[in-house]
A and B are shown apart, each in its own frame.
Chain A
Amino acid sequence: MPFLARLRRDWQLLVMTLPALGLVLVFHYVPTLGNVIAFQDYTPYDGISSSPWVGLYNFQWLLSDPEFWQAIRNTVTITTFQLIFYFPIPIALAILLDSVLSRKLRLFIQGIVYMPHFFSWVLVVSLFQQILGGAGLLAQTLRQHGHEPWDIMTNPDAFIVLVTAESVWKDAGWGTIIFLAALSAINQNLYEAAAVDGASRWRRMWHITLPGLRPVILLLLILRLGDALNVGFEQFFLQRDAVGSHAAEVLDTFVYWRTLMTGAWSYGAAAGLFKGVVGLILIVIANKVAHRFGEQGIYKRS
């Protein structure tokens, strides 16, 4: 069909996308242009127009900055750890929830596991402190019974487990929502047919439930990879002094301390751009891999 004919046919649909396009333009594309300050020695009081251009020097400094690499190392370690120990939990939880037959009980459990998602990190960290901290419930109970409590909140070696536990407690429940939706889309007849053929519970899960979830799992996995250098800011910011920068400095806190607090705006923009490029490369690779496996991935050349 020629372009004009298609336009005549679809113009209402196109008009409907305009507000969304406008939002993306104003809040995504225009601010993205601000990244040019990564190639400048920028101060906000001079503005982009009169700040001097310095080419790639900011990136050169960044790549020769050991603290930057330390932050990258921490970020990647935490991402990898959470990919293995955090990512599967919402899936398991969703399957578990789906198997609860009583509707009332299910809603009750859902209410409980969703709730922490709405707590701020400040609250989550102080709740953990009240319970696991050196003067918290666990430590005091141990002391009452003559044991020396061990160190949980201020142990740099266990920090990665601590932050993952906090994330699981806060967000695992919320993460089940999308999987529950996918589960409800699986054709119930398949289960019946399999049961008639004598498939056990486990076999039904292996051959029906998990394949049914596969597209969603892969989609989220790809998105997560694109976000690999994003592990969150507040959680690490709040607990940085407790375990030291060596364990808790991630890319976002590095940008905050090293650049925003010292007025090195351009340096921060360079670090941000670096992060974006790495994320883009990871997404493209993961998407390619997904296509190889015959999945849709997040986008496809038509």
Chain B
Amino acid sequence: MTQSPTRRGFLGLVALTALSACAAPAGPKPGAAKATAAAMDKLTALVPKYVPLQVVKPDITSSVPGFGRDGFLKYPATLVDSITAKPGKGGSYKVMVPTWSPLPPPLGSNSYYDAVNTDIGATIDFNYLDGMTIHEKLPTLLAGGDVADVTTVPGWALTAVPDYSKAVDGLFEDLTPYLAGDISAKYPALAAIPTLAWQYSVFGGKLKAVPAWPTPMFGLVLFHRKDLWDKHGLTAPKSADELFEMGKQVTDPKEKRWAFGDIFEIMREIFRVPRKWRKEGGKLVHAYETPEYEATVAWMRKVVDNGLVHPNVLSAKQAADAKELFKSGQMLVTSDGFSFWAETLIQMSKENPDFWMEPVPIFGGDGGKPEYRVNQDPSYTFIKKGTPKEKIEELLGLFNYFSSPFGTQEQLLFNNGVEGKHFTRDATGAPQQTELGPKEIVGSYVWLGGRVDPIFESQAHPNYVQAATTWWNSAVQVRHQDPFDGIRVQEPGDFTAAVKPFEDKVTDIIRGRRDVSTLAQAIDEWRKGGGDAGREFYQKVLTDNGRA
């Protein structure tokens, strides 16, 4: 680094007014917003110095630093009380976090909130935003500008908002003065958040957020009902064709059993379609333009034509009841986030002791290796602009508290609630939820800090931790390498706008309403509608970052 750390204006920001290529009107195309890009590796001076903090030793240590995850087969015998003084100063905050669970009872009639708020010495009142529709609500929410004292949003939802960097700049407080440099003495748990996650939290040259969930995550995992799979005498597929044949064998509409859910997106990864772009001889080729993409579309169409997809998935918006269909065995293969695995096992272990699901063992569409995509951008916890200095410091103290890692008493409290009330200890000393537990506790405080969580689950199937850690640590080894890894990009508006019309056409093809051969024409329309403008923009980003 040659720049002086006090200067903030050294970002490689790219502004490009995307001019439309069409002949039509001479005026600017609506929504052709100003696109920007920022590379993470230039931001070291703005973020906290990384000081690791390990309080207990894991049973399984990951082999891939930065991407793998440790595993705990049993709960640590003794917990560390890492924060002795109350971090709160009696402040009261409204906090908005996303949730994918039913709403818990509100503050005042929720003993879990009371217990945590008492321990931290501050009052946090949660307001939940439905995670299933967050990407649809967030644009209007941010445009309206009426944000809570603290707002947490997943990175993928934020970057889907048009003009998000302007929104972040206008709505949220700059945390650089509080957090840049070595903060390990003041906020030891925050200092232990990996640097890349902090770098992603820099927006427009200012550190704007505390990263939540700094672990790189798999967006989607291809799960199957291994118990039923075995019952039908099926083995692990080695290619997409084998998966198709197996799907054909298990599908039986008379028995109300179909093989697949909405698995198009994850199949793209299995067919090695790049996330957005691939570099071929110095030129950028978009995912849509690759032969792998066409192969995935053709394969999906074949699956739909043979009636292997559950009809509800085809007739409902975004497969609203896919989870239930999978649990009840009406659908054998589905794709969902990694956390769906543990959640489902916990729920189903009570209802059906034979229930066992796991990811379909790693395979590639053509029999080679897949390329699983790992999301590196974390979720972001923002503080509202205009919050006074002492309040910001109080909040950062609280975020440090909620960043306490696995194996601390703090983590046990904000993750599991109160012993005897929300959980009891089983024979191995691991917390087991009581009936009240899941009613009052949904992911709330866990959003307010960043921890690299190891894999541990006492309530799921006993085989879970071993299976999950093994799968995770082998899947990260075939992760997709993106030419734009570590660069946060705000795309030109017409490039974003071209996506939906194209994907509508692809949906038409997959669902049998258009012929596969029309894909080429759809790609052509996409190129004219903004695809080529996007390519130019991205090409320039590569050049500007010395990666061309």
- What is A's interface to B at a CB cutoff of 8 Å? 41, 43-46, 54-55, 57-58, 60-61, 64, 67, 125-126, 129, 133-136, 139-140, 143-144, 153-154, 156, 237-246, 257-267, 270
Contacts and interface: CB of A to CB of B under 8 A. Distances in A.
A257 B320 CA distance: 19
A57 B27 CA distance: 6
Given A126-B316, A241-B318, 14 more contacts: A54-B27, A60-B25, A126-B320, A140-B256, A153-B314, A154-B315, A154-B511, A240-B317, A241-B511, A244-B504, A244-B511, A246-B508, A263-B161, A263-B496
Contacts of A237: 317
A104 B508 CA distance: 50
B381 to A, nearest CB: 21
B426 interface: no
B359 interface: no
A133 B317 contact: no
Interface in B255-286: 256, 258
B317 A43 contact: no
A22 B26 CA distance: 42
B342 to A, nearest CB: 28
A156 B508 CA distance: 10
Nearest to B262: A241
17 contacts: A43-B166, A45-B163, A57-B25, A57-B26, A60-B27, A61-B29, A134-B314, A135-B310, A238-B316, A240-B317, A242-B316, A244-B504, A246-B508, A259-B31, A260-B140, A261-B139, A263-B33
A45 B385 CA distance: 14
Which 9 residue pairs of A and B lie closest in terms of their CB atoms, listed nearest first?
A: A263-B162, A134-B311, A264-B31, A57-B27, A267-B30, A44-B143, A153-B315, A60-B25, A45-B166
B315 A41 contact: no
Contact of B497 (A125, A239, A264): A264
B468 to A, nearest CB: 31
B312 interface: yes
B106 interface: no
Contacts of B314: 134, 153-154, 242
B542 interface: no
B90 interface: no
Interface residues of B, number: 46
B365 interface: no
Interface in B483-521: 493, 496-497, 500-501, 504, 507-508, 511, 513
A134 B30 contact: no
A241 B507 contact: yes
Question: Most chain-B CB neighbours within 10 Å: which of A125, A156, A242, A266?
Answer: A242
Contacts of B231: none
Contact of B24 (A60, A143, A263, A270): A60
A67 B511 CA distance: 20
B136 interface: yes
A258 B507 contact: no
Interface of B: 24-31, 33, 136, 139-140, 143-145, 161-163, 166-167, 169-170, 253-254, 256, 258, 310-312, 314-318, 320, 330, 493, 496-497, 500-501, 504, 507-508, 511, 513
Contact of A139 (B163, B311, B508): B311
A64 B508 contact: no
Contacts of B317: 237-242
B508 A264 contact: no
B28 A41 contact: yes
A133 B31 contact: no
A171 B155 CA distance: 41
B500 A261 contact: yes
Contacts of B170: 45
Q: Main secondary structure on chain A at its contact with chain B? A: helix
Nearest to B498: A262
A209 B508 CA distance: 48
Contacts of B511: 154, 241, 244
Contact of B30 (A126, A136, A240, A264): A264
A143 B311 contact: no
Contacts of B311: 133-136, 139, 153-154
Contacts of B162: 261-264
Nearest to A153: B315
A61 B256 contact: no
Nearest to A269: B30
Given A61-B25, A244-B513, A262 B493 contact: yes
A262 B497 contact: yes
Nearest to A132: B315
A261 B493 CA distance: 10
Contact of A262 (B320, B330, B496): B496
Contacts of A265: 143
A144 B496 CA distance: 47
B451 to A, nearest CB: 32
Contact of A58 (B30, B166, B254, B513): B30
Contacts of B501: 67, 245
Contacts of B136: 261
A176 B268 CA distance: 51
A241 B166 CA distance: 32
A267 B167 CA distance: 20
Contacts of B144: 44
A23 to B, nearest CB: 21
Nearest to A67: B501
Contacts of A266: 30-31
B28 A133 contact: no
A239 B166 CA distance: 34
A78 to B, nearest CB: 18
Contacts of A135: 253, 256, 258, 310-312, 330
Question: Most chain-A CB neighbours within 10 Å: which of B162, B166, B318?
Answer: B162
Contacts of B513: 156, 243-244, 246
B537 to A, nearest CB: 15
Contacts of A238: 316-317
Nearest to A152: B315
Contacts of B25: 57, 60-61, 64
Nearest to A143: B254
Contacts of B507: 241, 244-245
B28 A57 contact: yes
Nearest to A258: B497
A259 B169 CA distance: 22
Contacts of B27: 54-55, 57-58, 60-61
Nearest to A266: B30
Contacts of B315: 129, 133-134, 153-154, 239, 242
B140 A143 contact: no
Contacts of B320: 126
A242 B304 CA distance: 13
A129 B258 CA distance: 16
A2 to B, nearest CB: 49
Contacts of B504: 244-245
Contacts of A125: 316
A70 B497 CA distance: 17
